[in-house]
A and B are shown apart, each in its own frame.
Chain A
Amino acid sequence: MAILEKRRLWLAALIAAAILFPLFVANGYYVHMMTISFIWMIAVYGLNLFAGYTGYLSLAHAGFFAIGAYALGILTVKAGWPFWLAFATACLLTTLIGVFVGLVALRTKEHFFAIYTLCVGYIIYLIIDKWDSLTGGVRGFIGIPAPADIGPLSFQTPVAQYYLVLFFLLVVVWIMHRLVYSLTGRTYIAIRNSEELALTLGISTMKNKLASFVLSVFFTSLAGALYASFIRFLGPDIAYVSVMFDFLTYLLVGGIGTLAGPVVGTLLVTFLSQQLQFLQDYRMLIFGPVLTLLIIFYPHGIAGGVIRLKAKREEARRLQLEATQASAELAAASRQERSERYAKEG
């Protein structure tokens, strides 16, 4: 229970820090960077749900991110829909596409699933790039409105947008938390662990994988729609594989299959790449080897490494406790024996 309390405290401190951040950091650039990071985090949580907890690496998620973004852009600018209606429709539309992709893609497994979804992602990129009349092609898509006011809440300033994105991030984290510690979450983890075993335990793996995939697409499309309303300019690049591998890097560094992973990884990698900006593209010379080493020695990222360390310590403590108990019992037994002997001899 104490561990749970401590964790709550940490979480509250983190949320408080996130809320206070724009008040103390007057630098608009940092607020902008933070907002973007939060958007990436939401997308990475989507990826984490499916790759981390269900065990299927989807490489189409940058594509879904882009569909969410472009859908919002097209619905607001070309169709002239009210912002929030367009926002909800963009997410639902992407999710619906996710259902159809999932129905086909989930017939494959492991590497084949990754390769299949990589192709799906690339096809989405090509469609956005080539469908000039709808998406603006390589010239990009401009003029997307900022989020419309909700009653007295206005989202025209960067700080207000920061809070809006933070709100969505917290909702996503909250959903993820509830999910992971539920029967449904356990079901996903069982599928990740061994699909054969899950099947023989009576779990409909196809149904569960599809549900997990669709929710993961939903999260990612939400990130895409937020991105569109925040950056307000879209190019086909956001559907490209490099964005996909950015997501994956954040997830791997932070910890795949952990709740804190997306936050830790995204913050760390975006911060580091900012600091190494002066190296330009040569910074990949540093990133590449560091990432490789990390995956070799910490396959579950930073958050996963911390969890393992804690578990190990807990186990050591338990063994120690058992050992002292055993030796105490042994000492008590030998005392008993000795006193009995004395009693006999005396």
Chain B
Amino acid sequence: MFLHVERLTKRFGGLLAVNDVTFSVEQGKINAIIGPNGAGKSTFFNLISGLYRPTSGTIAFKGRDITRLPANERAKLGIARTFQTTHLFEQATVIDNVIIGHRLRTSSNLFDAILRTKRHHREEQACKEKAMEVLDFVGLTHVADRMVANLSQEQKKRAAFALALATDPELVLLDEPAAGINPDETEGLEELIVNMVQRGLTVCLIEHKMSMIMKIADRIMVLNYGEKIAEGTPEEVKNNEAVIQAYLGGSAIA
């Protein structure tokens, strides 16, 4: 199994943000997580990427238990992610932002930097090449030297994708990639995500835009109040009673 989460729970004081969720990400597929606001989707991502420690449960990546591994070590194993807000450094150019994405595959340190050793030259070059490669992949080569602050929202999202891809990941977690961009641009991002999977990556994404999810997702998990209420193909999820209730309100019962 590629990424497997077993009975994962995260408790913030009295709040159960993620409650006993068991879930698997299938390799080479687009796995989507949906759910109403506050359902625990982002917390779930933070648990997988290692920013939060789970209260209980285990996470395994490619058969290895990574539950106790810090976020930076998980990134080295091949788990990359983007954030809802892109977190980019607005006052720097796109390329300068993306170069750091490949840093985890380099090893030059403070002394290499001061003495400008061969290793530093080689690795700096490698980072720049990687940055150009991923910018080409996401279609931002033409704005590589522009300040991030001057980019459109969609371009910023693409830059954030590029940054995640520069880490040479196997699994990419995308947190609401289509939030705040228009339908045309959303289609462009859909294409990009499909391209990523065709390149051999595995994608797991959180998204609110149902049209997008229904179109590109291979499997969907639905969270509500931190609990998994449904899982399956888009078709199955669409017709699931519990999902309809979660989204349209359970007034029939209440």
Contacts and interface: CB of A to CB of B under 8 A. Distances in A.
B80 interface: yes
A185 B113 contact: yes
A249 interface: no
A201 interface: yes
A62 to B, nearest CB: 24
A200 B49 contact: yes
B176 to A, nearest CB: 15
A324 interface: no
B120 A203 contact: no
Interface in B102-161: 103-104, 106, 108-110, 112-114, 116, 120, 123-124, 127, 146-147, 150
B51 A200 contact: yes
B108 A184 contact: yes
Contacts of A203: 72, 100, 103-104
A186 to B, nearest CB: 5
Interface string A173-196: 001001100111111011001101
B243 interface: no
A315 B150 contact: yes
A308 B110 CA distance: 28
B224 interface: no
Nearest to A175: B114
Contacts of A99: none
B89 interface: yes
Interface string A47-64: 000000000000000000
Contacts of A204: 72
Interface in A229-261: none
Taking residues whose C-beta sits less than 8 angstroms from the other chain, chain B's interface range is: 35 or more
- Most chain B beta-carbon neighbours within 10 Å: one of A182, A183, A197: A183
A187 B100 contact: yes
B112 A184 contact: yes
Interface string B63-91: 00000001111011000110100011101
A289 interface: no
Q: How large is the interface on A (under 10, 10 to 19, 20 to 34, 35 or more residues)?
A: 20 to 34
B167 interface: yes
Contact of B87 (A183, A196, A311): A196
B75 A200 contact: yes
With a 10 A CB-CB cut-off, give which of B109, B147, B163 has the most chain A CB atoms. Answer: B109
Contacts of A190: 89, 100, 103
Which of B49, B75, B116 gathers most chain A CB within 10 Å? Answer: B75
Nearest to A304: B91
B234 interface: no
A199 interface: yes
Given A186-B99, A193-B87, A201 B123 contact: no
A211 to B, nearest CB: 5
A202 B103 contact: yes
Nearest to A211: B110
A201 B113 contact: no
A205 interface: yes
A31 interface: no
B101 interface: yes
B83 A202 contact: no
B103 A183 contact: yes
Most buried by A among B87, B116, B163: B87
A202 B164 CA distance: 10
Contacts of A197: 83, 87, 163
Nearest to B111: A184
Nearest to B101: A201
B205 to A, nearest CB: 15
A164 interface: no
A187 B81 CA distance: 18
A215 B120 contact: no
A196 B84 CA distance: 12
Contact of B89 (A189, A196, A311, A315): A189
Contact of B167 (A185, A187, A201, A215): A201
11 contacts: A175-B114, A182-B108, A183-B108, A183-B120, A183-B124, A197-B163, A200-B75, A201-B100, A202-B75, A202-B104, A315-B146
Which 3 A/B pairs are nearest by Cβ-Cβ distance? A202-B104, A202-B75, A182-B113
Interface of A: 175, 178-179, 182-187, 189-190, 193-194, 196-205, 211, 215, 308, 311, 315, 318
Interface of B: 49-51, 70-73, 75-76, 80-81, 83, 87-89, 91-92, 96, 99-101, 103-104, 106, 108-110, 112-114, 116, 120, 123-124, 127, 146-147, 150, 163, 167
Given A182-B108, A199-B70, A199-B71, 11 more contacts: A175-B114, A182-B113, A183-B124, A184-B113, A186-B96, A199-B51, A199-B75, A200-B51, A202-B104, A215-B110, A315-B146
